[in-house]
Structure 1
């Protein structure tokens, strides 16, 4: 009964951050385009919003944000799981596309393949990492406080999220490879350019996040299955170092300990996810080597 209110409350916080970042992006891009000091910002803001491609796309973003706020308000007020959810999803997709088409991918054209690939990358990243945040800060804390926890329901729900996350990760990897090649142009740019070095940091963080996701799927999830009373053969990965299942002599006496181990892993994942978002923001404003070569 508390899950929906908590989800809508956290979603509202996310919309606040999204709104704030939208205006920060406008300020940053205005200063970049005008090359004016921040004291002259208000002089150039209307010009950028009204007379540049970025400004027109930013207006679409703001319109989508307004609709998103209305959808959130209606959903929060009525605890609605109907129309508010799909409307919010569509608006988030629109906002994601405005980000893609005004970034490096948009240099090839607002509706070019690169923009759509970047859009898929952003959406899948949001589903993967956003889902991790939801589990770390909303669902796991609630499950751990339940007096009469249905172990099977908790295990099945986490298993479904694991499958969704795996799908999102597949899309991230495929689109990320395309984006990396488009931005770098050649392999040695990965370590010889600032863009490539930032990308390496992002890749290192993603590898850590992927490992923890695999640990959840192939170690923690089978443990939860046994904890919920099911018999499940260990995954072959469980024989590898770093994937070995914890031994609980008596699951009935283990309490919520297997769930706590899983929650701890997801909390670490959420910290890595936040770091990846920060590095991605830096990467978004760095100039790819291919653009530098084209300018030269």
Structure 2
């Protein structure tokens, strides 16, 4: 594969990964949020529909990109059956298939209400965890009895948190009677998503790295260090929202509501940066702990 073809396919794979993350975490997570927590609005529903719809197209295309990468072919090879067969034969093919099913369920859940919307959105959220635990560095690392459940919990936690952001911004912007109740319900539930997310993330990092020197001595560790910058910033902004603005917003303080809406917008931007960095893991060699099966 020539250098130009390599970079073209690599960029396409990277974009496809980001699109998949956006669809799974923001789209599916958003469908779950509006069905279980509240905040269903025209803006939130349309946003989730567009995100999921775009990702439903991008996910299968990303499988073709995987096939091109495996075969050392350029984008012109997308029309060949062998490329798609090769892409779906990889662990990513299974991930994309489960992710597509989850996003399809989320799409119907967004358009539904009541029990059907709840059941489909819950199934879609669980599908996010299953999809990401089925492949990738985390899902393939040993011991899998530990890493696969950790990836599952980590993915579900991200989906709930990231998926809540757009509906929260929308309901706060509307300043309707539902805004405060939705914010209160979210404040009660979010610790139960964030704590497993943090614990699972720490477990995965320890297993993957194998030692502290791998942070700067391996490509995986270097990507992790870069990712930690927006992650730490995200937690700081979230802490500001939770402990500095939420209580005042719940008392219907208009200034606090405006500031909260803006800082949640900052959270959205940081989440997208995290997705972009995490997508770079596809191009890193398998971590030592994974490679040696320990």
Bucket of the pairwise TM-score, normalised by the shorter protein: 0.7 to 0.9
Whether the aligned pair in 2 keeps the contact of 1:48 and 1:54 (CA below 8 Å) is no
Task: Tell me the equivalent position of 1:234.
Answer: none
Deviations 1:180-214 (A, max 9, x none): 11211110111222221211121121111111111
> Partners of 1:47 and 1:169 in 2: how far apart?
38
Range with bigger deviation, 212-221 or 29-38: 29-38
Selected match of 1:7 from 44, 66, 84: 44
What is the number of residues matched between the two proteins? 255
Could you list the runs of 5+ residues in structure 1 that have no partner in the other structure?
A: 229-250
Whether the aligned pair in 2 keeps the contact of 1:106 and 1:115 (CA below 8 Å) is yes
Please tell me whether residue 45 in structure 1 is matched to residue 43 in structure 2: no
Whether the aligned pair in 2 keeps the contact of 1:184 and 1:288 (CA below 8 Å) is no
C-alpha change, 1:291 and 1:20, in structure 2 (3 Å) is: farther
> Partners of 1:51 and 1:271 in 2: how far apart?
34
C-alpha change, 1:171 and 1:51, in structure 2 (3 Å) is: closer
| CA deviation after TM superposition for structure 1 residue 62, in Å | 3.9
Task: Tell me the equivalent position of 1:29.
Answer: 66
Judging by fraction of residues, say which structure has more helix: 2
Selected match of 2:118 from 85, 101, 111: 85
Selected match of 2:156 from 123, 132, 149: 123
Task: Tell me the equivalent position of 2:134.
Answer: 101
| CA deviation after TM superposition for structure 1 residue 266, in Å | 1.2
Could you list the runs of 5+ residues in structure 2 that have no partner in the other structure?
A: 1-38
> Partners of 2:143 and 2:212 in 1: how far apart?
27
Deviations 1:151-183 (A, max 9, x none): xx6444323212322222211110111111121
> Partners of 1:175 and 1:6 in 2: how far apart?
32
Range with bigger deviation, 20-29 or 57-66: 57-66
| CA deviation after TM superposition for structure 1 residue 220, in Å | 0.8
Selected match of 1:199 from 224, 230, 244: 224
Task: Tell me the equivalent position of 2:192.
Answer: 167
Q: Which has the higher contact order (CA 8 A, sep 6+)?
A: 2
> Partners of 2:134 and 2:85 in 1: how far apart?
20
C-alpha change, 1:53 and 1:154, in structure 2 (3 Å) is: closer
